[in-house]
Amino acid sequence: MKALRGLLLLIVALPLVGCQSVLMSPSGDLARQQRDLIITSTVLMLLIIVPVIALTLLFAWHFRASNKKATYDPDWDHSTILELLIWSAPLLIIIALGAITWVSTHKLDPYRPLDQLAPGRPVPANARPLTVYVVALDWKWLFIYPEQGIATVNELAAPVDRPINFKITASTVMNSFFIPALAGQIYAMPGMETTLQAVINHPGEFEGFSANYSGLGFSGMRFAFHGMSDGEFTQWVDRAKGAGGDLSREVYVKLAQPSRYEPVHTYATVAPGLYQAILTQCVDPASRACLSNTHPAGDTRAGDMDGMSMSSRTD
């Protein structure tokens, strides 16, 4: 019997060997709140599941054929107390889950500016978010830092305890931008822009990847996200400026061509308006896909990154 029990435990544990606990021990405040939501929801559901399983086993044992002391009542069909327990307990759980879901949906909205860096640490009034443009390419990630004037491929960095404002789009097909230690996944879609507000609270190197299948090179769409001190981040930017090339529109067109397992490289300069051109699919203005061509002359709505015509909220 002991050998059989050990074999069953081994069978259950084997699928979990490759699992990581990053979702349960995140390094960003947004991911921490999402983890707490998972735990709270699981505990609430277990309040129903565990008693039901326990009572099922108890009833099966108590009313077994060999137990002559168990009352046999073939005409029993109703109990007010049992009916109240059966219906009221799940109803209360559903109400609690609904309330938590309603509050969390608004509080953890990826478009909502952060109100805290960590528990008990509100965002300073003078804090300026770090803006990063994220472009999902085939099959790699392009990150553009408009304030620093640099761009990187398959490498991302941000200072610890500084709000980050990600603006996310894609070049061809839909992908999903996901750094488990930082926040939940956000879709990246061509011709549309999604947003993620987040913060990293601990220094270190964290894995990011695409969580949405996008073709042959999907498995190689991974990148390193570095949480750094302000000084280390400044040095990282300086290294990118010193060792990188120029990300012109011509260079971007070549970069956007499908490639697998693209190595990390940086660009010291970025062509003005490149992200906006990617977003509106107007890197080549003559392209039929250029969204600005669908608007009358002088209409600048297609050039407004924050306009609702160019924005898609994906929670």
Taking Cα atoms as reference points, which of 91, 97, 90 lies closest to residue 49?
90
pLDDT in tens, 35-92: 999 999 999 999 989 988 998 999 899 888 888 888 878 787 888 888 888 889 889 9
**Residues 266, 151: contact at Cβ < 8 Å?**
yes
Structure tokens at 237: 């930017």
What is the distance between the terminal CA atoms of the chain, rounded to a whole angstrom?
49
pLDDT in tens, 197-253: 999 999 999 999 999 998 889 999 999 999 999 999 999 999 999 887 899 999 999
Structure tokens at 146: 């408009």
Structure tokens at 32: 């921490």
pLDDT in tens, 263-290: 999 999 999 999 999 999 998 877 777 8
Q: Which residues contact 248 (CB under 8 A, 6 or more apart)?
A: 271
Whether residue 315 is predicted with pLDDT greater than 70 in this model: the reply is no
Mean pLDDT of 11-19: 50
Residue with tokens 């080549």: 284
| Percent of the chain residues past pLDDT 70, beyond the cut | 86
